[in-house]
Amino acid sequence: MPAPLPDWSGIWLPDLEDQVAQIESNPLPWTASAAAEVKRLTAAEQAGHPKGLFANCLPEAMPAWMLVSHNALEILFTPGRVTMLGESDGNRLRRIYTDGRSHPADPDPSFHGHSIGHWEGETLVVDTIGVFPQTYIAISEAVGIPNNGGLHVVERIHLTGPDVLVDELAITAPKVLTATWHTTRRFKRQKGANADILEGVCLQGSFAEQTDARGDAVFTPVPHTDEGNPVPPPAP
């Protein structure tokens, strides 16, 4: 009889202060080329001109979702699988197979990769490959470098207290990192009245709910300036 699974119910909010502290105290072993680009992007962000890594509404993807997300996630256990669902952009979904399968020999590239996991006591160990080379290894929503291929992520996810979940990540990206980067991210549990994940569709903010000439309820693009800023409604 397998050991009972731990209680990871509720939703998990990323510890944003810890995200920053991790980046400051545990810098990535970037290659020289990647380090130069990180320096340039960081200067641009600090000057108020962030690149906007996720402004195209493609998924934050692996590993950036785990590293820099500002939004809640929930974790579902079903037989043979652990599923992570993220809030806000609606396109955050990790399927982690715990049914004993192996990775495919040649996985189709995807934003979240092919993940297999197993339980070591109450720790979920996850191995992920098959991620698009374009997904970012990010240190903020404005500073990140595409992994450029060969990404391999191993995670050990476990509770360190009743309401603190820690993801210990080992990120190998031979095109942009000179060594495997070990880092951790913390998530705080919330349960109760405000612990439902809200639906989020990344492009929703670009559309307004309106009624067309036929009287049909429709979504129409939000007026915006050439720079992408929403235009305020006309004064009443």
Partner 1 sequence: MTRVLSALAVATLATARLLAHHSSAMYDQQKTLMLRGVVTQVRWTSPHVNVSVLTDAGRAEPGVAWVLEATSPGNLMRAGWTRTSIRVGDRVSVVVAPLRDGTHGGWCRGLTLEASGKKLEC
Residues that bind partner 1 (CB under 8 A): 13, 45-46, 48-57, 70-72, 87-90, 140-142, 190, 194, 197-206, 208, 222, 224, 226-233, 235-236
CB closer to partner 1, 5 vs 219: 219
User: Of 216 and 226, which CB lies nearer to partner 1 in the complex structure?
Assistant: 226
In the complex, least distance from residue 118 CB atom to partner 1, rounded to whole angstroms: 31
Shortest Å, Cβ 38 to partner 1: 15
Q: Are 150 and 128 in contact (CB under 8 A)?
A: no
Least Cβ distance, residue 235 to partner 1 (angstroms): 6
For residue 200, what are the β-bridge partners?
none
Q: Select from 103, 97, 76 the least CA-distant residue to 7.
A: 76
Query: Does residue 203 sit in helix, strand or coil?
Result: helix
Given a contact cutoff of 8 angstroms between Cβ atoms, the answer to whether 153 and 132 are in contact is no
Helix (H, G, I), strand (E, B) or coil at 54: coil
Tell me the pairing of strands 93-97 and 114-120: parallel
Q: Nearer Cβ to partner 1, position 108 or 199? A: 199
In the complex, minimum distance from the CB of residue 223 to partner 1, in angstroms, rounded to a whole number = 11
71 vs 178 by CB, closer to partner 1: 71
Instruction: Name the minimum Å distance from CB 7 to partner 1.
Output: 20
Q: Compute the half-sphere exposure of residue 195: CA atoms within 13 Å on the CB side of its CA.
A: 13
Provide the terminal-to-terminal Cα distance of the chain, rounded to the nearest Å.
68
In contact, 8 and 77? CB cutoff 8 Å = yes
